[in-house]
Structure 1
Amino acid sequence: MNADGTTGTGKRIAYQRRPARLTQQELARAAGIALGTVRKIERGERGVGEGVLNAIAAALGVDVTCLLSGCDRADDRVHQAMPKLSAVLATYDMPEDGPTRPLSELREEVAEVVVWRLAAQYVRISRHAAGLLAELGRAFHSAPARRRVEIAELLVAAYRAADAVAYKYGAYDLSARLIDLMRWAASQADNPLLEATVAYTRAETYLAAEAHAAGLHALEHALDIVPRHPAGPVADAARGALHMRAAVIAGRAGNAEVAAAHLADARCLAAHVPEGTYQGTGFGPDSVRIHELSVAVSLGDGFVRRVLETVGAWVPSDALTAERRSGFHIELARAQLWSGRADRAFTSLQTARRIAPQHTREHAWVREDAATLRRLKRSDAENLSKFAEWCRAGE
């Protein structure tokens, strides 16, 4: 990728420097590039290579897509990566020959990819997923049996990160394939709690297909077989995450009683689990509170008004993952819109965008609600129109 400064990337970098309170020299130092390079980029006198652009985005503390010119650049980069990813999945059991780094280095890269997933950095994941999965496949099939267990766990995490991209960008067949491979890899690992991770992730296929009864049955079956011992935060978080997702699916099905029961079980487990990320899934009291809003939005107006009163001015802590925090504001926007609070709804959508722009832009509810707001709202019409165009509202 070569982002051409003359098409707007340079201007976007200059614009983002202001809220970051960085001079050109400070940005150059933080990004590890020459001051002259920053100056030329901002003036549109030279293009921006991918490595430089990522370094600048990291120094500014923004998502790289905020610096790209053109609404479809992120989409293009993700979709261009899909064929290569599909090819790697087709040869998961007979990977092509190639180099394989030491397990310690693979472990570090998988950990980094998991961080990207939780931060909704889908473009970054798409750029690395195929190569990482191919290398993990070679490592798994060439390793002695005693080493395969850990590599299998790494495969589960890497498949899940790739699935996050496929699912968010509507490649549901590819997503289903990745989840099947998650299940295969989990079966190779000596970690029963990984089955809960797979079941949690697999539930998205039921949500996409609106197969709520089947999804709820699958999650409740997973709860029955997930081991309760040894007790501890990781095991409790695994069960709690399943209850949260079951509550959401029950809400989508309009079953308020079942949703409430699962939320109650999740709250009970969260009372003993500090908020955090367990086996790649966020769980704790704040996560449950966010899911209460999600369930209320699924159930409709009567539930929304009650939960809005409960939420009040509360917002998730910055310690929660970007994807989960942006999801909260997206669902809060829908609740506010349904309650006749259009201005607040637009503010919530803008907050979601600041937290995780890629996640926000690819969320179907964002497009629907932005289109509705554009029809209803008159104040701040220019910013609303720009936002609606950014998220492709009405498509």
Structure 2
Amino acid sequence: MPALVYPGVGQRIAYHRRIARMTQQQLADASGASLGAVRKIERGERNPSDAMLDAVADAMGVDPARLRHEPDPARTPVHDALPTLSAAIATYDLPDDGPVRPLRELRAAANEAARWRLAAQYTLIARKLPDLLAELARAYHAASGSERAEVAALLVRAYRSADAVAYKFGAHDLSARLVDLMRWAAPEAADPLLAASVAYVRTETFFAARAHAAGLRALELALDAAPAPSSAGQVAARGALHMRAAVIAGRAANACAAQVHLAEARALADHVTEDVYYGTAFGPDSVRIHEVSVAVSLGQDYVARALDVARAWKPPTGLPAERRSGFYIELARAQLWSGQADHAFESLKVARRIAPQHTREHPWVRQDAATLRRLKRADSEALSNFAEWCAAS
């Protein structure tokens, strides 16, 4: 009988193995599996049988149910608004009749939505974006010439803000659809830097599908097509693609490619000031945050690098809230894997103070909060309250 498929089971096994401070060889020995089987399961290349899952869970001292299924997040008003957002993009090519504001007002509205995204204000996006997307679609089909190109660029910006909500709240099919619409509208804007930003966002679809090697290839193709780095915007566009490539290479367990792309991003960041370029924060501080992300993605011997970065540096308050909270979420994971449970809980609380919605909806936060509660290494009441807040099981 073939093994049942439990999506993401390999990542959950790797996570709990690191919490148990076990190597892959130790897990193989303790569970009676071969080292090759453990490696393939963690990489998602093989589905374990139920008997193997039970043996692996027993070896790590966890409930087998935690390996089989991710907990379902609690519903929020944002979840409830996702169907309205989906309906708004269904008629992108045949929008309903309605009012259209002047271009300057549409520009201001799209810019405001981009600021909400960077500040992780997802409820505002979910409430306001459906009407804006419908209005921008009407404006696009009514415009011509240079005005149509600018409206296309505004559509990309607005789709990206909507995608942030869809992706982070687990609506990955809707996110992929929004990415497709970004790729449809970007050529109409005739701006190669906008196309590079869309390639950056498209990586979400590869993360969601855990197709990390394919995502790395897509980013490397985007780097080949990106303009030469002669202006600050061009430098930032290439640097952001290298940052993204470093992280997905880490998820693909390609340490060499991860370090090469991280080094390229670091070198480019030395030539620009930290800022938001085409909707993506880039500069020396963003690259440093991605050093932590790459280290956590690679795991094993690389986690110490994440802790080294955090000992010497903290993200400045001028960075977007979403990026700063992400730093502490990933740092918490590195601390937890290193046996620093109390420090991990402190990092999660910092992430919550910076960007509550981003932190609450992050699947790693729910997973790590549940683990911390079981370990009982921090104040039990505060930890229980935190775990309930983020719907950790």
TM-score range with shorter-chain normalisation?
0.7 to 0.9
Taking the aligned partners of 2:86 and 2:253, their CA distance within structure 1 comes to: 36
Q: State whether residues 85 and 130 of structure 1, in contact with CA within 8 Å, keep that contact through their aligned partners in structure 2.
A: yes
Q: Tell me the percent identity.
A: 67
Taking the aligned partners of 1:183 and 1:99, their CA distance within structure 2 comes to: 26
Identify unmatched segments of 5+ residues in structure 1.
1-71
Q: State whether residues 93 and 137 of structure 1, in contact with CA within 8 Å, keep that contact through their aligned partners in structure 2.
A: yes
Taking the aligned partners of 1:306 and 1:86, their CA distance within structure 2 comes to: 41
Shift of 1:88: 1.9
Partner of 2:318: 319
Partner of 1:257: 256
Taking the aligned partners of 1:111 and 1:75, their CA distance within structure 2 comes to: 28
- Look up the equivalent residue of 2:217 and give its one-letter code: H
Taking the aligned partners of 1:86 and 1:209, their CA distance within structure 2 comes to: 20
- Look up the equivalent residue of 2:319 and give its one-letter code: L
Q: What TM-score do you get using the length of structure 2 for normalisation?
A: 0.80
Identify unmatched segments of 5+ residues in structure 2.
1-71
Q: Aligned pair 1:192/2:192, yes or no?
A: yes
- Look up the equivalent residue of 1:199 and give its one-letter code: A
Q: Aligned pair 1:128/2:114, yes or no?
A: no
What secondary structure sits across from 2:76 in the alignment?
A: helix
Q: Aligned pair 1:364/2:360, yes or no?
A: no
Q: State whether residues 310 and 331 of structure 2, in contact with CA within 8 Å, keep that contact through their aligned partners in structure 1.
A: no
What secondary structure sits across from 1:277 in the alignment?
A: strand
Question: After the TM superposition, which parts of structure 1 deviate over 3 Å for at least 4 consecutive aligned residues?
Answer: 72-76
Partner of 1:5: none
Q: How does 1:191-270 map to 2 (within 5 A)?
A: 191-228=191-228, 231-270=230-269
Distance 1:124 1:73, change over 3 A: farther
Taking the aligned partners of 2:189 and 2:90, their CA distance within structure 1 comes to: 21
Shift of 1:73: 12
Q: How does 1:26-175 map to 2 (within 5 A)?
A: 75-175=75-175
- Look up the equivalent residue of 1:256 and give its one-letter code: A
Distance 1:378 1:262, change over 3 A: closer
Q: State whether residues 345 and 378 of structure 2, in contact with CA within 8 Å, keep that contact through their aligned partners in structure 1.
A: no
Q: How does 1:316-355 map to 2 (within 5 A)?
A: 316-355=315-354
Q: State whether residues 306 and 331 of structure 2, in contact with CA within 8 Å, keep that contact through their aligned partners in structure 1.
A: no
Shift of 1:98: 0.4
Taking the aligned partners of 1:307 and 1:359, their CA distance within structure 2 comes to: 21
Taking the aligned partners of 1:73 and 1:316, their CA distance within structure 2 comes to: 28
What secondary structure sits across from 2:192 in the alignment?
A: coil
What secondary structure sits across from 1:166 in the alignment?
A: helix
- Cα RMSD of the aligned pairs, angstroms, is 1.5
Deviations 1:198-239 (A, max 9, x none): 11000011011110111000000000011116x111111001
Higher relative contact order by CA 8 Å / sep ≥ 6: 1 or 2?
A: 2
Q: State whether residues 133 and 155 of structure 1, in contact with CA within 8 Å, keep that contact through their aligned partners in structure 2.
A: yes
Deviations 1:347-389 (A, max 9, x none): 0000000000000001011011101111112441100000001
- Look up the equivalent residue of 1:291 and give its one-letter code: H
Shift of 1:187: 1.0
Shift of 1:74: 9.3
What secondary structure sits across from 1:317 in the alignment?
A: coil
Q: What TM-score do you get using the length of structure 1 for normalisation?
A: 0.80
Taking the aligned partners of 2:249 and 2:289, their CA distance within structure 1 comes to: 16
Taking the aligned partners of 2:306 and 2:130, their CA distance within structure 1 comes to: 42
Q: Aligned pair 1:177/2:177, yes or no?
A: yes
- Look up the equivalent residue of 1:381 and give its one-letter code: S
- Look up the equivalent residue of 2:270 and give its one-letter code: A
Deviations 1:64-119 (A, max 9, x none): xxxxxxxx999432122222222221110111000111111111111110000001
Taking the aligned partners of 2:328 and 2:249, their CA distance within structure 1 comes to: 21
Q: Paired residues, what number?
A: 322
Shift of 1:305: 1.3
Taking the aligned partners of 1:228 and 1:115, their CA distance within structure 2 comes to: 28
